[in-house]
Structure 1
Amino acid sequence: MTSVHSVTYGIRLLEFTVRRRERKTLEIAVEPDASVVVTAPIGATVEAIEAKVHKRAAWILKQQRYFSQFLPRTLEKRFVSGETHLYLGRQYRLRVSSGLKDQVSLKRGFIEVSSTRPNNRDFTKGLIDAWYLHRAHVKYRERLEASLERFAVPENFRPTGLIIRQLEMRWGSMSPAKRLMLNKRLIHAPVDAIDYVITHELCHIPEPNHGAAFYALLDRVMPDWSKRKDRLEEIMA
C-alpha cells in the first residue's frame, strides 16, 4: 500500500512516497534518484508521518544534494538552429532565420524564429521565452476551464486568479485566497500532465493539506493522477 505526500520546509516542497508495512518503527530513506521513501507502520497517521519528515527535512535535503551530483545533467540550451525544444510534451526543432520583424511560430515540427538579430543567441532566447510565456497564458487558462469540469460543482473550485511564475521547487500552488500559481515551465509538459497539476491544486481549495480527504477527492476526480504525475516527472526531469 503506497501513497504520495508532501511537506513544506521553508521555501522547499518535499515530496515523498509512503509505504505501509507490518512494523513498529518509521524509516525514511533517500534513494539514489533523490526520491524520498517513508516506510511506516500500518497504523501510523498521515499527520505523524508528515511531522517526522519535516523533522528530518534538513537531513533529507543534504542526502538529495549528495545524490544529485551523480544524476544526468540537462544540457544547457544554446538557442541555435537544429537543437530541440519541448512544447506540450513534444520535441520541436528550432529554426532561426533573418526577418523584417521578430516573431515566433510553430510550423510542421519546427519552432520558427524570424528575427531582426538572428545571430544574437540572447535575443533569440528572449523571443522564445516570451513566446512560451504567451502560450502558457493561453494554454493554462484553457486547461483550467477543462479541469474545472471534473468537479460536480465547478464554480466551487474556481480560483480567484491565475499567476504564472518561474518556480524552482514546485509545479504549482494554491494560496489561502484561492489564487492559483503555475510554473511557467509547465508549458513544456504534456497536456495531461498540465491537467494533473491544475486539478491537484484545485483540490486544495477545500482541502489545504495533503491528508486522506485531499487524496480521496483527487482520486475521485482524476483516478489516473499518479500515472500523469509519473509522466510529468519523467519528461521534465
Structure 2
Amino acid sequence: MSTTSAYMTVRGIDIDVIHKEIKHLHIGVYPPAGRVRVAAPERLEDDQIRLAVVQRLPWIRRQRKELQDAARQSTREMVTGETHYVWGARKRLRVVARPGRAHFEVEGTRLVLYVAPGSTAEERRTYLERWYRAQLREKLPTLLSEWENRLGVSVPKWTIRRMKTKWGSCNRESHAVWFNVELAKKDPASLEYIVAHELTHYFERGHGEAFTKRMDQHMPDWRKRRDELNGMPLAEERWES
C-alpha cells in the first residue's frame, strides 16, 4: 500500500496527514501529547481534509482533554514497584531511604532512587523530573551539534520544558528551541527525530511539501520514528467523505 505524508495546522492544532489507498478518512488522537493524525484516501485534497478536521474539532478537543485529565489522574506515588520509562526502556522503581543527597541510578531493569527518610511523594516526583532533565541535557548537545553541521544552521539557545501537547517547538526568528522533558522517557531515536524536526523549521514554517522533502532528504526514516514516538491513538474515528 503506497503512502505519502504531509502536515497542516487547523485552528492552532498540528495535524499529521497520511495519504493511503483507503476508502474513508480516519482521524486519530494519540497519547501522551494529543497528536492528531489523519489517514486520508489519496483522492482527497487538502481543503477537503481541512474541512473534515474542522467538522470534527469538538470530538478532537474532547479526546485531547481526556489525555490531559488522565495525565493528572495518573500521578505517580514514587514508591518501590512502580514502572517508569528511561530512554524507551521500562524500569522498575526501587526506593532506598538513607541519609545524603537524593539521586538516581540505573541498575539493569531497575531505576533506583536513593533518598532521605521521610521524603514526600511530591519531593520524589521533583527529583525524578530533575533527573529526566539532566538526562536530556547530557544527550542534546551532541545531537544538536551534529544536526547543526548537517543542516548548516546554529542553535543559539535551547530549553527543556514540560509541554502538554508538543514534543518540541522553535522560534524561527530567534532560532530558540524547546524540548519536552517527556522525551527522556522515549527511545533516543525519537529525540533525534524531534531535533531534526525543529531545526528543519528554520527553513520551513509549516509542515507542507517543502518541509517533508527536507525531512526525507536528511532523515529518510522520520515517519517511522514519528509513529513510534506518538504510539497508538487514544481514540480513532472513521469519517466518510
Amino acid at match of 2:19: V
Is 2:165 the counterpart of 1:166?
Answer: no
Contact conserved, 1:30 with 1:36, CA < 8 A, in 2? Answer: yes
Tell me the SS of whatever aligns to 1:157: coil
| Displacement of 1:223 | 0.7
Contact 2:148 2:155 in 1 (8 A): no
The farther-off stretch of 186-195 and 122-131 is 122-131
Give 1:131's aligned residue: 131
Residue 147 of structure 2 aligns to a residue whose secondary structure is helix
Structure of higher RCO (CA pairs closer than 8 Å, 6+ residues apart): 2
User: Aligned-pair distance for 1:57?
Assistant: 4.3
Larger deviation, residues 112-121 vs 199-208: 112-121
Q: Which residue of 2 aligns with 1:187?
A: 184
Equivalent residues in 2 for 1:47-126, closer than 5 Å = 49=46, 52-65=48-61, 75-109=74-108, 110-118=110-118, 120-126=120-126
Task: Tell me the distance in 2 between the aligned counterparts of 1:32 and 1:124.
Answer: 31
Which residue of 1 is the match for residue 33 of structure 2?
none
For residue 131 of structure 1, report the CA deviation from its aligned partner: 1.1
The Cα RMSD (Å) is 3.1
TM-score by length of 2: 0.77
Deviations 1:109-150 (A, max 9, x none): 22221112455211211111111122222222232223334x
After TM superposition, give the deviation of residue 78 of structure 1 in Å.
Answer: 2.0
CA contact (8 A) 1:204 1:214 kept: yes
Distance 1:199 1:29 in 2: 27
Gaps of 5+ in 2: 31-35, 235-241
Tell me the alpha carbon deviations over residues 38-94 of structure 1, each in whole angstroms, 9 at most, x when there is no partner. Answer: 33537x4xxxx1x55555544333233566769xx6754221111111111111111
Alignment gaps of 5+ in structure 1:
none
Segment drifting more, 179-188 vs 136-145: 136-145
Q: Tell me which amino acid in the other structure corresponds to 2:184.
A: I
The question of whether the paired residues in 2 share the 8 Å contact of 1:118 and 1:124 is answered with no
Change (3 A) 1:235 1:85: farther
- Structure 2 counterpart of 1:229: 226
Q: Structure 2 CA distance, aligned partners of 1:80 and 1:172?
A: 30
- Letter of the structure 1 residue corresponding to residue 6 of structure 2: H
How many residue pairs are counted as aligned between the two chains?
A: 221
Matching residue within 38, 41, 60 for 1:39: 41
Residue of 209, 212, 218 corresponding to 2:209: 212
Between the aligned residues of both structures, percent identity stands at: 21
Instruction: Please report the TM-score for the alignment, with normalisation by the length of structure 1.
Output: 0.78
8 Å CA contact retained: 1:192, 1:228 = yes
- Give the direction of change, closer, same or farther, for the CA distance of 1:63–1:18 in structure 2 (3 Å limit): farther
Distance 2:29 2:102 in 1: 43
Over 3 Å counting, the alpha-carbon distance change for 1:171 and 1:219 in structure 2 is: same
Letter aligned with residue 137 of structure 1: R
C-alpha change, 1:192 and 1:56, in structure 2 (3 Å) is: same
Counterpart-to-counterpart distance in 1, 2:146 and 2:221: 16
Match of 2:3 in 1: 2
